C-alpha cells in the first residue's frame, strides 16, 4: 500500500461496512481473521477516520499481544503444573481458587474436589484454624501479616487426616481490586527425618543408644541452669563403671563386651524416670542425672540398680556372664561453678567405691546446703 492510501479517511459505508472494510484486509488464516475483526472495530470506534493501514497495524499489535499473553499463560500454567512445590491459591474469603498437580500429590485432594472449599477446613490442622482466621482478618484490615512474603515451617493437614511438616511462603496479590493469596508449599517430611537422624547421630552413642558424652554434658549444663533459674535445691549426679570389664573383653571377646554394654544400658533405662538422663561418657563409664533427687534418694535408686545388675547376668551364645557395677553419687547445687564440678565429685565417689571393693555405692562428701 502506498502513502496515498494512508492519507485517505474512511467514510462510513452506506451498505455493509464490514464487507467494504474487509475487502481491503488480506489473508484468511485464523490470525488474520482475528486481526480483520479487530481492525474493523478500531475503525468503527474512530468513526472511520483512521486509515486502513493504521487500523490494521493497531489490530495486529493487539492480536499479537493476545497470542503472546495466551502463550505466556500456557507457559505459566505448565510451570505451575510441573512445579515441585504445591501451588495453592485462595481468595479473600478463604476459598481455594487454584490447585496444581503437586498440591494434589502432597495433600491427597483432587483439584475437582478441593476447588471452592474453605482452606482452613481442608489443609490447615485444627489447632491452627482460629489463628488462620484471625490472621486473614488482620491482613485484610491492615495489609500486614506474620506469614506474608516469608518462608516459614509449619504443619499441614493431609486429606486422610495425618499432619506433616511443610515449608510455606505466601504472596498476596491484587486481582481486580481484591486481595488474593498464592501459597507455595513444599513437603519437608524427608528433610525433617534426615535432620532428626543427623541430630541423633550427633547426640547418641551408636552402640548403646544412650546420650553420648557431649550430649550428656549439655544436659548437665541445662540442669545446672534450671537449678539456678528456679532456685531448686539440688539434683543428683551418678557416675557408674562396670567392674572388671576389661577382663570380660579379654576373656569373651569384644562382641560379648559390646553386648554387655548394651545389656547394661537396657537395665539402666528400665529404672529411669522420664525426666532422668543417662549417657555413656567413656568406654565402660556411664552417668545419670536425677533432677530433684537428694543424695539419700539417689542412693536408694543406685542400690536398686546395683542389685538389679548383680542379679541379671548377660546370656550370650549359651553363656551366662555375670557383671557388677560401682556407683558414685554427688549432688549438683545451684552454687556449683560449672556442670563439671558435680561430675568431678561423683567421679571421686566412684573411685572410692572401686577402692573399697567394687560392686558398691559411695556418696561424695556431703556439704551443707544454704537455706
- Which pLDDT belongs to residue 19? 40
- Which pLDDT belongs to residue 29? 54
Name the burial class of residue 187, with classes exposed (0-12), middle (13-18) and buried (19+) by CB atoms within 10 angstroms of its CB: buried
- Which pLDDT belongs to residue 20? 39
CA distance 239 to 124: 48
- Which pLDDT belongs to residue 76? 52
- Please give the model's pTM, rounded to 2 decimal places: 0.60
**30 is known as an active-site residue:** no
Residues in the chain, overall count? 371
Query: Residue-wise pLDDT tens for the chain (371 aa)?
Result: 444 444 333 333 333 433 433 343 333 456 676 677 777 777 777 777 778 888 878 877 876 776 665 655 555 555 556 556 888 889 989 999 988 888 999 999 999 999 999 998 999 999 999 988 888 888 888 877 777 777 889 999 999 999 999 998 888 887 777 888 888 888 999 999 999 888 888 899 999 999 999 999 999 999 999 998 887 778 999 999 999 999 999 999 999 999 999 999 999 999 999 999 999 999 999 999 999 999 999 999 999 999 999 999 999 888 899 999 999 999 999 889 999 999 999 999 999 999 999 999 999 986 433 32
CA distance 204 to 198: 10
- Which pLDDT belongs to residue 101? 87
Of the candidates 44, 112, 271, 284, the residue annotated as catalytic is: 284
Q: Are 322 and 228 in contact (CB under 8 A)?
A: no
φ and ψ of 132, to 5 deg: -65, -45
- Which pLDDT belongs to residue 9? 38
CA distance 20 to 75: 39
Pick the CATH number of 204-363 from 3.30.70.270, 3.40.30.10, 3.40.50.970, 3.30.360.10: 3.30.70.270
CA distance 279 to 220: 11
Name the burial class of residue 57, with classes exposed (0-12), middle (13-18) and buried (19+) by CB atoms within 10 angstroms of its CB: middle
CA distance 281 to 216: 8
Cα angle 210, 323, 362 (rounded to 5 degrees) comes to: 80
How is the chain split into domains, by residue range? 3-80, 83-191, 204-363
Q: In the CATH hierarchy, which fold is given to the domain comprising 83-191?
A: Beta-Lactamase (3.30.450)
Amino acid at each position: 500500500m502506498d502513502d496515498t492510501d494512508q492519507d485517505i479517511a474512511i467514510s462510513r459505508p452506506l451498505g455493509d461496512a464490514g464487507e467494504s472494510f474487509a475487502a481491503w484486509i488480506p489473508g484468511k488464516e485464523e490470525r488474520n481473521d482475528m486481526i480483520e475483526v479487530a481492525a474493523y472495530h478500531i475503525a468503527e470506534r474512530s468513526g472511520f477516520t483512521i486509515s486502513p493501514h493504521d487500523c490494521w497495524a493497531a489490530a495486529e499489535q493487539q492480536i499479537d499481544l493476545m497470542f503472546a499473553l495466551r502463550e505466556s499463560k500456557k507457559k505459566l500454567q505448565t510451570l505451575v503444573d510441573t512445579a515441585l512445590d504445591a501451588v495453592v491459591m485462595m481468595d479473600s474469603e478463604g476459598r481455594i481458587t487454584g490447585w496444581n498437580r503437586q498440591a494434589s500429590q502432597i495433600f491427597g485432594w483432587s483439584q475437582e474436589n478441593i476447588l471452592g472449599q474453605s482452606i482452613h477446613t481442608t489443609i490447615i490442622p485444627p489447632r491452627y484454624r482460629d489463628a488462620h482466621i484471625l490472621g486473614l482478618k488482620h491482613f485484610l484490615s491492615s495489609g500486614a501479616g506474620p506469614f506474608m512474603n516469608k518462608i516459614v515451617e509449619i504443619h499441614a493437614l493431609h486429606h486422610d487426616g495425618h499432619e506433616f511438616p511443610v515449608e510455606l511462603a505466601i504472596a498476596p496479590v491484587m486481582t481486580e481490586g481484591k486481595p488474593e493469596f498464592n501459597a507455595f508449599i513444599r513437603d519437608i517430611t524427608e528433610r525433617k527425618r534426615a535432620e532428626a537422624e543427623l541430630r541423633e547421630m550427633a547426640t547418641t552413642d551408636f552402640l548403646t543408644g544412650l546420650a553420648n558424652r557431649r550430649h550428656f554434658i549439655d544436659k548437665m549444663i541445662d540442669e545446672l541452669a534450671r537449678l539456678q533459674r528456679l532456685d531448686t535445691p539440688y539434683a543428683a549426679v551418678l557416675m557408674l563403671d562396670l567392674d572388671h570389664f576389661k577382663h570380660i573383653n579379654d576373656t569373651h571377646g569384644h562382641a560379648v563386651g559390646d553386648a554387655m554394654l548394651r545389656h547394661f544400658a537396657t537395665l539402666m533405662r528400665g529404672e529411669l524416670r522420664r525426666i532422668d538422663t543417662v549417657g555413656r561418657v567413656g568406654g565402660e563409664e556411664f552417668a545419670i542425672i536425677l533432677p530433684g533427687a537428694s543424695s539419700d534418694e539417689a542412693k536408694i535408686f543406685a542400690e536398686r540398680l546395683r542389685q538389679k545388675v548383680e542379679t541379671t547376668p548377660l546370656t550370650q551364645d549359651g553363656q551366662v556372664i555375670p557383671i557388677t557395677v560401682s556407683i558414685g553419687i554427688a549432688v549438683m547445687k545451684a552454687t556449683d561453678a560449672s556442670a563439671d564440678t558435680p561430675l568431678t565429685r561423683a567421679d571421686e565417689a566412684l573411685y572410692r567405691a572401686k577402692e573399697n571393693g567394687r560392686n558398691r555405692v559411695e556418696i561424695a562428701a556431703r556439704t551443707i546446703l544454704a537455706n
